[in-house]
Homo-oligomer: A and B are copies of this chain.
Amino acid sequence: MQNFMEPKRVALIGISRRSGAGSFNLMENMRAFGFGGEIFPVNPNADRILGQRAYANVKEIKKEIDLAVISSPRETTLDILKDCIAAKIKAAIVVNQGFNDADRLGREMQQEMAEIARQDGIRILGPNTLGVINGFNNFTTSFMPVVKDRTPVGLICQSGIHFVGPQMFSGRFGKAIDLGNACDVGFYDALAYFGQDPEIKIIAIHMEGLNQGKDFLSLAASVVKDKPIVVHKSGSSKTGARAAVSHTGSIAGDYRLLRAALKQAGVTFLDEGGQMPHAMKTLLNLPLMRGNRVGVITYSGGAGIMVSDGLEKHNLQLAAFSEETIDQLAALSPQWLPLTNPLDIWPAVMLHSARRAYSVALKAVLNDPNVDGVICIALAPLPEFSFLDVSETLNTVMDEFPTRKPVIVWTYGPNTVEVQKRFESRNRIMVYSTLELATWALSLLRDRYKAIYRDRKS
Contacts and interface: CB of A to CB of B under 8 A. Distances in A.
Given A98-B336, A237-B311, A160 B302 contact: yes
A22 interface: yes
A243 B305 contact: yes
Given A413-B165, A416-B167, A239 B312 contact: yes
A278 to B, nearest CB: 11
A412 B164 contact: yes
Contacts of A381: 145
Contacts of A169: 412
A44 interface: no
Interface string A230-245: 0000111111101110
Contact of A303 (B159, B237, B308, B385): B159
B240 A312 contact: yes
A393 interface: no
Contact of A380 (B165, B239, B382): B165
Contact of A244 (B234, B238, B305, B434): B305
A300 B159 contact: yes
A237 B98 contact: no
A239 B318 contact: yes
A162 interface: yes
Interface string A427-455: 00000011111000000000000000000
Contacts of A208: 302, 305
A302 B247 CA distance: 7
A399 interface: no
Nearest to A346: B97
Interface of A: 21-22, 74, 97-98, 101-103, 105-106, 145, 147, 157-162, 164-165, 167-169, 206, 208, 234-240, 242-244, 246-248, 272-274, 299-306, 308-309, 311-313, 317-318, 334, 336-338, 340, 342, 344, 347, 379-382, 384-385, 387, 411-414, 416, 433-437
Given A157-B302, A240-B309, 12 more contacts: A74-B336, A98-B334, A145-B385, A147-B414, A158-B302, A161-B302, A165-B416, A234-B306, A239-B311, A243-B301, A243-B304, A273-B436
The 5 closest A-B pairs by CB, nearest first: A159-B302, A165-B412, A274-B434, A247-B301, A237-B312
